[in-house]
Structure 1
Amino acid sequence: MRDFLRAYPAEAKLLAVLVLLVAGLSVASPEFLTLVNITSLINNNAVNLIWAVGLLVVLIAGGIDISFAVGASVVQYLVVSALIGMGGGGWAVGIALAMAFGIGLGLINAGLIHGFRIISIVVTISTFNAFFGLLMFFTSGKSIYSLPDWLSRPIYLWELQTEIGWADIRLPVAVMAVCLFATWFLIRRTTTGRQLYAFGDNPEGARRAGINIWLMQAIAFGWCGMMAGIAGLMQAHITKEVVPNALIGRELDVLAAVVLGGARLGGGRGSVLGCVLGVALVAVAQNGLNLLGVSPYAFKMVVGIIILAAISTSNIDLAAMLAPKRRDRK
């Protein structure tokens, strides 16, 4: 236990907060721990988790990207338009197109950052506005409601009828699981992952060690773009429509969740486990407030308090607190 606390201090503290929050909500609202509500939480946050692991790779590499939600909107429109143009396509074609378009948008960010030596937050603010402006200009803000049948048809991986309704797990959850595993494998089991951590922790030292700076930026932002593209396609599958501005505004919630999970804005730190716990904490807090009838306007305040509490306790060593005290022998 102490080894886990020392290896993952931020994740351990977040897990403790999450357990306390779940315990409190389960007492305050009988509906919270029902199977219907739990599966709904998982289904509804699959897209956010896909975004989160994409953003995680960028943060590990010392960057920041706030354009991923707009990128997902652009990919949605491009993929669905292309699929309609080719007569429908299928899941393999749709996911391939989403990944390709997403990587392309991510590489635009990486190219601007590397080519003009501009900090990533400035570039992604610029591309956020540029991508969104171009999307609204070429689409005139019109939505697409006639999606290919295979994309709009719900796919249930598991379902069970309960006394209060149906509990189910849907396709986006499986896609989310694949994205989580792929990101974990990239950052924890490959040489590229170790280089991303090294580059984020000390860019100049990494450069002197022979790490290709452009390659690291391209991989990080390309991965984030790819995850944004996949998430955009999953969102279209869930809602059965493509609305150009529907995803705008969710960037900061995802960023807050990833940072809350232990990713450092300065780079060099972060884990997939932390992403899962961060997104779970934000989702559980929002869901709990809704079940308790609290105004949705209070949600941002609650999330802000949770984040502030997590940051203010970041220097507390849980492993040291749980370790048995040794008495000095005279």
Structure 2
Amino acid sequence: MHSYIRTHATESALLLVILLISLFLSFATENFFTLGNAFDLLNTSSVNIIFAVGLLVVLIAGGIDISFAVAASVVQYVTAVMLGWIGGGNWLFGFLLAGTAGIVLGAFNAFLIHRFRIISIVATISTFNIYFGLLMFFTKGVSIYDLPDWLTTRVVLFEHEMANGTWVEITLPVLVMVVCVIATWLLITRTTTGRQLYAFGDNPEGARRFGIPIGAMQFIAFGWLGLMAGIAGLVQAHYAQEVVPNALYGRELDVLAAVVLGGARLGGGKGSVFGCVLGVLLVSITQNGLNLMGVSPFAFKMIVGAIILVAITLSNTSIEKLLPLARSEGKRP
């Protein structure tokens, strides 16, 4: 048990923090510690968790992408339009269409980064604006409400009647999220490609000397995030029962904060799926608790910004370097 805690320190710390925050919120609010709120948290967190496991692969490979939420919005809209053209479709065709479109957008990011040697954050800032600008230009901000019946019909996996007569339920997004989490876990822990992604993120030059194809690593990482973004976009359309062009705009920083909270290193070569999921849940629980307590949503944005700032600081300056600096500062007269 002690060895597990030592080797999974980040995940263990996150579990402890989640328990402490949940305990505090159960006393501070009336509705937090209820089955209905727990199910709502799980349903609403599903899309962000799908985003997060995709972003995790990019971070492991030493990259960073802030365009995935906007890419999901583009995929969402394109998929809805194409489904209208063909007269409906079904879930299988919808996932194939959305996943393929997402991979194409992710591969475009990888192409820019690999072909033109552009830093990933710069490339994805550019595509973030390109994707969002094109989406708003062609859609004029108009939402799509006329979606196929199969996409808007709620799929309930589990439901329970509360004492007050209301029903709480777990819906399809949770199942899709579980599949995406397991698929990502298998990719990064049970395949040669996953080991190569870790090696590439930890030491790109060393990975190149060992014969790991650099271009392939970038296309796999950003393509996987594109796939997850496409799936998340379709799931969001199902959950909201409409397609709003800017509905996912702004989620990228929340997801990034959650993933680095979960132990993913911005410098690459480190991160786990379990920590990633815990990071999203911690961010979701914090946001949910602040809402229930009536705290301004801007306070949550401050928390997200602080998380990213600390993560960037620690990724550039190790703890070992910080401690001697602190000791030398303390010795000064």
Letter in 1 for 2:253: L
CA distance in 2, matches of 1:20, 1:235: 30
Q: Does 1:241 align with 2:242?
A: yes
Q: Give 1:30 shift.
A: 2.9
Q: Give 1:312 shift.
A: 9.3
What are the Cα deviations for residues 300-328 of structure 1, in whole angstroms up to 9, with x where unaligned?
A: 23445667788999989xxxxxxxxxxxx
- Alpha-carbon distance change, 304 to 137 in structure 1, aligned in 2, over 3 angstroms: closer
CA distance in 1, matches of 2:144, 2:301: 31
Aligned to 1:125: 125
Q: Which moved more, 1:81-90 or 1:133-142?
A: 133-142
Q: In 1, are the aligned partners of 2:72 and 2:233 still within 8 Å (CA)?
A: yes
Q: Give 1:289 shift.
A: 1.1
Q: How does 1:80-119 map to 2 (within 5 A)?
A: 80-119=80-119
CA distance in 1, matches of 2:137, 2:23: 48
Q: In 1, are the aligned partners of 2:257 and 2:307 still within 8 Å (CA)?
A: no
Q: In 1, are the aligned partners of 2:266 and 2:312 still within 8 Å (CA)?
A: no
CA distance in 2, matches of 1:142, 1:59: 34
Aligned to 1:262: 263
Report SS of the residue matched to 2:169.
strand
Q: In 2, are the aligned partners of 1:285 and 1:303 still within 8 Å (CA)?
A: no
Q: TM-score, normalised by structure 2?
A: 0.91
Q: In 2, are the aligned partners of 1:290 and 1:296 still within 8 Å (CA)?
A: yes
Q: In 1, are the aligned partners of 2:72 and 2:232 still within 8 Å (CA)?
A: yes
Aligned to 2:327: none
CA distance in 2, matches of 1:219, 1:259: 20
Cα RMSD between the aligned structures?
1.9
Q: What 5-or-longer segments of structure 2 have no aligned partner?
A: 320-333
CA distance in 1, matches of 2:291, 2:136: 32
Q: Give 1:125 shift.
A: 0.3
CA distance in 1, matches of 2:314, 2:245: 39
Report SS of the residue matched to 1:92.
helix
- Alpha-carbon distance change, 161 to 309 in structure 1, aligned in 2, over 3 angstroms: farther
Aligned to 1:223: 224
Q: In 1, are the aligned partners of 2:69 and 2:249 still within 8 Å (CA)?
A: yes
CA distance in 2, matches of 1:254, 1:11: 17
CA distance in 1, matches of 2:129, 2:311: 31
CA distance in 2, matches of 1:208, 1:84: 49
Q: What is the aligned-residue identity percentage?
A: 66
Aligned to 1:78: 78
Q: Give 1:163 shift.
A: 2.4
CA distance in 2, matches of 1:301, 1:122: 23
Q: Give 1:55 shift.
A: 0.2
CA distance in 1, matches of 2:217, 2:311: 30
Letter in 2 for 1:250: R
Aligned to 1:174: 175
Q: How many equivalent residue pairs?
A: 317
CA distance in 2, matches of 1:254, 1:308: 14
CA distance in 1, matches of 2:10, 2:311: 8
CA distance in 1, matches of 2:64, 2:303: 24
What are the Cα deviations for residues 167-191 of structure 1, in whole angstroms up to 9, with x where unaligned?
A: 1000000000000000000000000
Q: TM-score, normalised by structure 1?
A: 0.92
Q: Give 1:140 shift.
A: 1.8
Report SS of the residue matched to 1:45.
helix
Q: How does 1:137-152 map to 2 (within 5 A)?
A: 137-152=137-152
